[in-house]
Structure 1
Amino acid sequence: MTTYVSADWVASCISDPNFLIIDTRYSMRHLMGHLQHAVNVPPPKLRNPQGELLSPNELSDLFGAAGLGDFITPILYDGYDGRNSAFVAWILEYLGRNDTHIMDIVYDEWKAQDREVFYRPVPRTERQFTSHINPAVRASLEYVSHTEGLTLVDTRSLEEFEGRSDADQIPGHIPGAINVVWQALVGRDGKLLCGEDEARRIIEEAKIDGSNTIVTYCKVGARAAVGYQMLKQLGFDVKLFDGSYSEWEKSGLPVKNPSGGGDPASVRL
C-alpha cells in the first residue's frame, strides 16, 4: 500500500541514494522547477498512443530507465490535485511495489514553505526494475461487467455521471455506480488528500457498502486513482478500473443516463 509522508520526511531522504524522487507532474511543470534529484515520470508516459496502460514489461523498462531499481524506494510528489501521483503510485502497486511513498503536500506548498527547488534536468541512472504483478488491485472490463456484488464508485463530475456532459460519446455511467466526485477527496491548504474523518463522512453520505469489493473508475483512470488511494488508506478492499468509462462506453455494455440526453440510439438504460 502507498504511504503518504510529510515534507519534512521527504527532505530528510532527498539526498539519500536509497531513494528516488519522482515528479509525477506534466513535463512543462517539471521544467519550471522541481525538487532536488527529481526525475519526471508523468502518467502520459505510462500509456500507449491509444491511451491504454503499457504492458508490465514496458512499464518495468520505463521505471528502470528513470532510475527506479529493485532496491530503490520511490518517493512521488505532485501538483495541485494529486491525480498524477495517485495514478503512478497505483501502477507501482500493480507492478508489485509495496514501498511507494507520496509527499502529502503539493509542490506549490513545498515552494511556499521556502524549501529548495531546482531547475536543471537530473541525470538518470538506469537500474533493473523487476515487476511482480499484483492482480488484486486492478479491475478489467470483463471483471467489472461479470462480477456480481461489486460497489462501483464513479469519481467523475456530477455532470458526467448524470449524462449532462459532452465529454462522452455515450453520456451516463455504469449501471449501479455511486457518484463520489474526486475533488471532494482532495485536501485543503496544500494537502493532497482530505482528512480521514472527512473522507469517512463522504463515504457514509454516499452510502458506499464497504462489505463489498469497491471498484473506482472515472474517464481514463487518474481521477479514480484519487478515490482508490483514499479508500485504500481507510482500509477498504478496493480495485481500480483503469480502462474506466472510456473503455466501458466503447464496449456496447449498458449505460445508465439519468438526464436522458445524448444519442437516444446509444443510451441503453
Structure 2
Amino acid sequence: MTDSASPLVSTEWLERNLNSPDLRVVDATYYLPVESGDARAEYEQEHIPGAVFFDIDDIKDNQDSLPHMLPPPEVFSSKVRKLGLGDGTRIVVYDRKGLMSAPRVWWMFRVFGHRDVFVLDGGLPKWKAEQRPLDDHPVLPEERHFTARLDTTRIRDRHKILGNIEAGEEQVVDARSTGRFEGRDHEPWPGRQSGRIPGSYNVPYTNLIDAESGCLKTPSGLRRQFEEAGVDLKAPIVTSCGSGITAAALAMALDILGHRDVALYDGSWAEWGLAEKLPIDKGPASKASASTER
C-alpha cells in the first residue's frame, strides 16, 4: 500500500505494483498553446505499461470558453469511467515533463471525492532515466463506475477572488514564473494582459522541484519556498497560475506540508488577464506589501 499521508509514489513503488489488480496508471501530459508537442501521439508511441491517457482538454466543461475548466460531476464521471478509473481503484498519475500537469489530474480526482489518487514523483523523465518498462500497446480499459462527489470548498471563482482583495481572508499564491507574475513577460494565452492579482504571492511551481533528481523537494525544502515568498502557512490559501494547471502543483505541495485549508482558482490568469475591469498589479511585489494587502 502507498503511504496515504503523501500524494506521491516513487518509481520503485510503481514498478513493483504495476500488476496489482486495483491499480490504474494515467498519463496526464499536457502542453501549453505556445509549446510544440502532441501529448496523445507521444502517449501512443510510449507509455508506462497499462497507462491510459487523460486528455485535460477533453475532460473539461464544454460550456465554458475558458481552457480546461473543471467539468460538472456527471461529465467527469462519464469520461473517467470509460478510462477504467472508478470506485475502488488506486490511481497513479504521471506526465512527460516530470511534475507539471499530473498534479492537476490528482487535484481533479480529489475535488470529486476520490482519495486513492497519487502522483508519480519525477514523472516519466525519472522512469525513463532508470530504464523502467515502457510499451506502445493500445490499452483497452474495462469501464468502471465512478461516484463523483464535488467538493466546492476546494474551488474558487473570480468573484470570490475579487471579493478577497478587499477582505484579505485568503492568501492567493501564484505558480507562474516571476517574469509573468511581475508583468515583464508575455502571457502564453492569447489576448491576456500581463501582471498579477493584487496582493498575491509568487511561488513558481518550478521552484518546488529538485533540479538534480527532478523530484519534488523535501518537505523542509517546500516549506522554505513558501516562507521565503512571505506566505503564512497557518492561514488559508488559494493557488493560481496561468490556466489552473500548475496551481495544482502548489496545492499538492501544501498537502504534503499538512495544509488542508487550500483551494484552487480554476480560471486563474486565463480568466483574470482577459477581463478588462479586474484589477491588475505589475512590478516586483515585496513580502511586506503583499502581507499588507492581505
* Residue 242 of structure 1, aligned match among 266, 284, 290: 266
Contact between 1:220 and 1:246, CA under 8 Å: does it hold in 2?
Answer: yes
Cα drift, residue 2 of structure 1? 6.1
Normalising by structure 2, what TM-score?
0.83
* Residue 210 of structure 2, aligned match among 184, 187, 191: 187
Give 1:88-127 correspondences, 5 Å limit. Answer: 88-127=105-144
Listed as ranges, the gaps of 5+ residues in structure 1 are: 260-269
Aligned to 2:172: 152
* Residue 72 of structure 2, aligned match among 43, 46, 55: 55
Q: Deviations over 1:69-91 (max 9, x none)?
A: 11212111222241211000000
Aligned to 2:289: none
CA distance in 2, matches of 1:36, 1:5: 16
Label 1:43 to 1:68 Cα distance change in 2 as closer, same or farther (>3 A). same
1:42 and 2:55 matched: yes
1:258 and 2:271 matched: no
Q: Deviations over 1:35-59 (max 9, x none)?
A: 1111111322223463122222111
* Residue 23 of structure 1, aligned match among 24, 27, 35: 27
Q: Deviations over 1:91-121 (max 9, x none)?
A: 0011011111112122122122221111111
| Counterpart residue identity of residue 186, structure 2 | D
SS at match of 1:152: strand
Aligned to 1:265: none
Contact between 1:80 and 1:190, CA under 8 Å: does it hold in 2?
Answer: no
| Counterpart residue identity of residue 258, structure 1 | G
Give 1:183-222 correspondences, 5 Å limit. Answer: 183-222=206-245
Contact between 1:4 and 1:101, CA under 8 Å: does it hold in 2?
Answer: yes
CA distance in 1, matches of 2:48, 2:221: 30
Contact between 1:2 and 1:89, CA under 8 Å: does it hold in 2?
Answer: no
SS at match of 1:20: strand
SS at match of 1:203: helix
SS at match of 1:220: coil
Q: Deviations over 1:117-141 (max 9, x none)?
A: 1111111211111101112221222
| Counterpart residue identity of residue 281, structure 2 | K
CA distance in 1, matches of 2:98, 2:244: 14
Label 1:238 to 1:45 Cα distance change in 2 as closer, same or farther (>3 A). same
Number of equivalent positions: 259
1:177 and 2:200 matched: yes
Contact between 1:42 and 1:84, CA under 8 Å: does it hold in 2?
Answer: no
Listed as ranges, the gaps of 5+ residues in structure 2 are: 30-38, 285-294
Contact between 1:140 and 1:241, CA under 8 Å: does it hold in 2?
Answer: yes
Contact between 1:138 and 1:239, CA under 8 Å: does it hold in 2?
Answer: yes
Cα drift, residue 190 of structure 1? 4.1
Contact between 1:153 and 1:178, CA under 8 Å: does it hold in 2?
Answer: yes
Cα drift, residue 6 of structure 1? 1.4
CA distance in 2, matches of 1:201, 1:108: 25
The runs of at least 4 aligned residues of structure 1 exceeding 6 Å deviation read none
Normalising by structure 1, what TM-score?
0.90
CA distance in 2, matches of 1:81, 1:73: 20
RMSD (CA atoms): 1.8
